[in-house]
Amino acid sequence: MDTPAITSPPLGVTLGFFRHLIDLCGGRTKLQGRTTAQVCFDYIVPLTASTQLSLVEHIAADPATAHFVRPANWYISHAWSYLFLETVDSLDVFFAQQQLSDEAVVWFCVFNNNQHRAAGFPFEYWSSTFKSQLSVIGNVVMVMHPWNDPVVLRRSWCVFEVYVAVTTGARFEMAMAPAQFALLVKDMSNVFALFTMLGTIKSEQSETTIPSDRDGIFALIKAETLFIEVDRLVFSTIRDWMGRSLSAYAQSLDDRLEEATVWRYLLRIYDHDRKWADSEPVIQRVIACYTEALGDDHEDTLAAKTWPYFLQASSGLPHATWGPPLHLALLNMERRLGSANRQVCIVRCSYTTKLVEAKVEYNRAAELLHTNYEILLSTVGPLHAAALATATDLGRVYTYKHQLPEAERWLNVALASAREAFDDTHPIPSFGQLMLAMVYVADGRLRQALTIAEQQLAVKLRLFGAGHAETVEVQHFAGLVLHRLGAFDQAKLLLNAGMDSVPAPDDESVADREARIITQTVLALVYWAERDYAAAARGLSQTALACRHSSIRHARKAAAWLYCLLMDPASTVGDDTAAWSAVSAMYGRHTDTSEAWDDEHCTGCHRDLVGTMRCCNECPRGSYLYCRSCTTLGRVLCSHDTATFLAFKPPHRHLLEEDLKTFDGPLDDFEEAIANYAVYCREHGVSDVEKVPRAAFGYEVDSRVWHPML
């Protein structure tokens, strides 16, 4: 049965009609405990029996009730199994919060569809009706009950409505009854409540009463979009709604401790979404609440006063800004409260997390983490959030220290505990899996790493969508693995998608910038590996120059790779003047650099790379790197002849030597430059084998036009 094309909004009912209907049915007491389906069959069907019309058409034909009917401006998505009164209460609260109680006119399927003829309509009728009416109305509000596992998202017809909202760009909101919101606030005392709830939302697992309807709905969705896009719209709507609702609720509370608790729940959402600017005023509210209610010396107040430092770290400020005061704050808490205090353990864990993320003070971080884990293991057990985070960070710090067996051991400890409580899509085991994949990459187990990376990328796309920093981070990691596997086309596809989805530089956050820089660097390595030298040089030059003032670490890393590209015997960059200028800006004689390669380590011994770096001439460029000792001893992952490996001096030493080779100045200046070079080699342990002898610089005294004897 075809439905006519709809170009103007269909009719709906005002919110006042719901109250009128409740009274007509005998009041709230009469409807208490009844589902929407029961209200439909027990009241609405009998009420419209005389006309055999839909309820909207029925009341529109009656002068006494026609004033309730107007063109609809909101489409209600709900489940028939919901309690009818809870659905009504949800809508009342939502439209009151939106200040739309008087203007809202809703399209409600129970009222708008003819319940006397519904059973005779085929799937095509319902799908076209829902889609056309929702599209014209343009605003959807979904009633979400229960908050932590919404029934509505387990029904394929409701998923279909979200799909229509996605494909038509309709405004999508959510509503919740006061009792459900109270349950939400109560459940948020569990730090994992939001993550667990988001993990239950999987639109592709929804169902229908009639199996063929599900098949038809899924075919329509797959033809125009992806289920992860449907889930993403739901996720973002839930988080936005929770943010607004928790903020309004916190401001309505008189009890300062209750208020602080709700503000903390809101901070979790902001932290999840990396909304650092929004977090700052909320942190100050929490501190004010605790100070007023508990005093300056209470453990909760002392802990909250450390949060601004954590926020500075998360915002990308240098360690020198937040590290020292945070360390002093932790020492103060330990002195006042004791090392085993719960809040001290949480702050200690968070402090070490920031140290590791900033890639500083690994030894201190490891020491603090071991202390923390022993305390937490004996006090709260291995499944506590702080214990799980501590074990995971131990794995991370050992990964960054290149102690791979110890890193793998701790990550498996953390994952074994986390899996007792969560599935692998939960943020804690998800992060642990990614760290384990990093260990696999460092150890040459690329296929295992790729499996994890692909699984986690699917999770990030579903939870955050393309463009989110966490998604792009996993994309560039997967791209790096594909690069090392030699799957260059797949790597470029993934990395370019990540680059295209990151916000423009003017709008990007610190996390966005970090993700873009790393992705661009990995993409340049892929171009180098497939011998597109010009594209590789262009990407590395842009990164090196763009990061000079914002991220010196990334600028130096990009410049070092650019130097290796230029020194590659097979490289044909063309005019390399600009590229060498970018290298010189980071590593020229005026720079204070050493023999160490920034953020690089030997794949053989896992120590920091110092001195001449070697890489296989057959494997993809920029993949595994080795020191001279490991190359000589054959401690390499590939089976290629180590005698053919490429060797790259540290860029600073190379530029010093090039300056000496092209020196064109007074003899005294040349002697001073030679002396400085000798000092550099001595201080940095450059072997005599690698040190360039004076004669090799070709300085000819008698050919200089300035010589006094000429």
- What percent of the chain shows pLDDT beyond 90? 53
**pTM for this entry:** 0.78
∠ CA 661-663-669, rounded to 5°: 125
Distance from C-alpha of 1 to C-alpha of 143, rounded to nearest angstrom: 29
CB 519 within 8 A of CB 531: no
Distance from C-alpha of 390 to C-alpha of 349, rounded to nearest angstrom: 6
Distance from C-alpha of 393 to C-alpha of 355, rounded to nearest angstrom: 10
Residue 500 has pLDDT above 50, yes or no: yes
Q: Across-strand partners of 155? A: 207
Most confident option among 231-235, 242-246, 617-621, 661-665: 617-621
CB 17 within 8 A of CB 106: no
pLDDT digits (tens, 9 = 90+) for 184-232: 888 888 877 777 777 777 888 888 887 888 888 888 888 878 778 888 8
What is the bridge-based pairing of β-strands 11-14 and 105-107? antiparallel
> Residue 465: what are its φ and ψ, rounded to 5°?
85, 170
Distance from C-alpha of 364 to C-alpha of 437, rounded to nearest angstrom: 24
pLDDT digits (tens, 9 = 90+) for 131-157: 888 889 999 999 988 887 888 788 887
Distance from C-alpha of 110 to C-alpha of 407, rounded to nearest angstrom: 57
Distance from C-alpha of 217 to C-alpha of 80, rounded to nearest angstrom: 18
The confidence score (pLDDT) of residue 407 equals 96
Least confident piece of the model among 43-47, 48-52, 187-191, 457-461: 187-191
Q: Across-strand partners of 69? A: 13
Collapse the DSSP code of 100 into the 3-class scheme (helix H, G, I; strand E, B; otherwise coil) and give the result: coil
Task: Calculate mean pLDDT across residues 429-442.
Answer: 94
Distance from C-alpha of 473 to C-alpha of 467, rounded to nearest angstrom: 10
Least confident piece of the model among 120-124, 162-166, 577-581, 667-671: 120-124
Structural domain boundaries in the chain? 11-245, 596-696
Residue recorded with tokens 């400085």: 676
Q: Across-strand partners of 77? A: 142
CB 513 within 8 A of CB 551: yes
Distance from C-alpha of 380 to C-alpha of 639, rounded to nearest angstrom: 48
pLDDT digits (tens, 9 = 90+) for 253-279: 999 999 999 999 999 989 888 888 899
Q: What are the CA-CA distances from residue 252 to residues 245, 258, 260, 266, 291 (Å)?
A: 11, 10, 12, 14, 19
pLDDT digits (tens, 9 = 90+) for 358-399: 888 999 999 999 999 999 999 989 988 889 989 999 999 999
pLDDT digits (tens, 9 = 90+) for 95-127: 998 999 999 999 999 999 889 887 766 777 667
The confidence score (pLDDT) of residue 710 equals 47
